Structure 1
Amino acid sequence: MTPTTPDPHDLEQIQAIVRDVQDGFNTNDASLMNAHLAEDAIVVNARGAVLSGRAAIQKASEDALAAGYLKESKAYYELSDVAALSPVIISARKNAWSTKQDADDGNPPEMNALYIFAKRDGRWLIWRRQNTIVSGNP
């Protein structure tokens, strides 16, 4: 399998999904943050917990954003390495900083994530996501 560049319309949809995740995170809105999850999604959060299914991911997000470890957190996201693996599967890497200024200043990302998007019923959804805190240089 040779990955290809996604169709521009598909890429716009993927970018919009990640913006919703960012906006939901920054406003402590778990519903917006998870609006594009597939029902059978699997997410590994920044603490390494494996969450299976949209309902479990939603509950964990609500808890973390409302009163948990993410309550005061903010993030700025940039996508890279976006590749169409098939007409219905796209992979992408997301880099994250606390602020856009940190990214603009050339600081290394504080976190990265690997996303797998699946197209179902004409709509792109997050099917898998693995978040990793960046602890320093390799």
Structure 2
Amino acid sequence: MTTTSTSSSDSVHDHQPAPVAEISDALRRVVGDVERGFTENDAGLLVRHVAPDAVIVNALGAVLRGRAAVEAATRAGLSRGPLSTATAHYRLSDIALVAPDVAVAHKSAWSTVEDADRGAPPEMNAHYVFVRREGRWWILRRQNTLVADARS
């Protein structure tokens, strides 16, 4: 795993990674857009940061390859059934840089902020792989898993 340091004694390289806090903030903004897209039934916003070559495993276990497939499944899911009225609150944690332009993170998901704040167990967990390309962060991989105990 790669860690970054910003001390004045570090040598200067051609590619100086951004401080971890700056990267964490950027990744939280990406996941914030995903949350808003889900809650507002906005498939375009939900997939805005999904890379064209992404592979996403949704909460039902379906493997979606490529942004177009992710967007089609997202539009269908948000337009009918229980997801059409669902809300979400996400918290990103365990962010780690594995290379200067690759990060992994864990996301916990609840239906509401209040559920998270009162200490309810997450209803879903997700593992993300982010990649930075041309100065912006993309979701390259995501694996969603529903938490059985939280749903019963």
Match of 1:18 in 2: 31
| RMSD between aligned residues | 1.4
Match of 1:36 in 2: 49
Match of 1:77 in 2: 90
1:87 equivalent in alignment to 2:100: yes
Match of 2:10 in 1: none
Cα distance in structure 1, aligned partners of 2:130 and 2:92: 13
Match of 1:57 in 2: 70
Equivalent pair of 2:2/2:100 in contact (CA under 8 Å): no
- The one-letter code sitting in structure 1 at the alignment partner of 2:138 is L
- In the TM superposition, residue 3 of structure 1 has moved relative to its aligned partner by 4.4
Query: Tell me, what secondary structure is at the counterpart of 1:48?
Result: coil
Cα distance in structure 1, aligned partners of 2:97 and 2:112: 28
Match of 1:100 in 2: 113
> What percentage of residue pairs aligned between the two structures are identical?
49
Larger Rg: 2
Cα distance in structure 1, aligned partners of 2:134 and 2:81: 35
Cα distance in structure 2, aligned partners of 1:99 and 1:35: 22
Provide the aligned length of Structure 1 versus Structure 2.
136
Match of 1:121 in 2: 134
Cα distance in structure 2, aligned partners of 1:76 and 1:12: 17
Instruction: Calculate the TM-score normalised by the size of structure 1.
Output: 0.94
Structure 1 runs not aligned, ≥5 long: none
- In the TM superposition, residue 80 of structure 1 has moved relative to its aligned partner by 0.8
- In the TM superposition, residue 70 of structure 1 has moved relative to its aligned partner by 1.4
- In the TM superposition, residue 73 of structure 1 has moved relative to its aligned partner by 1.2
Instruction: Calculate the TM-score normalised by the size of structure 2.
Output: 0.85
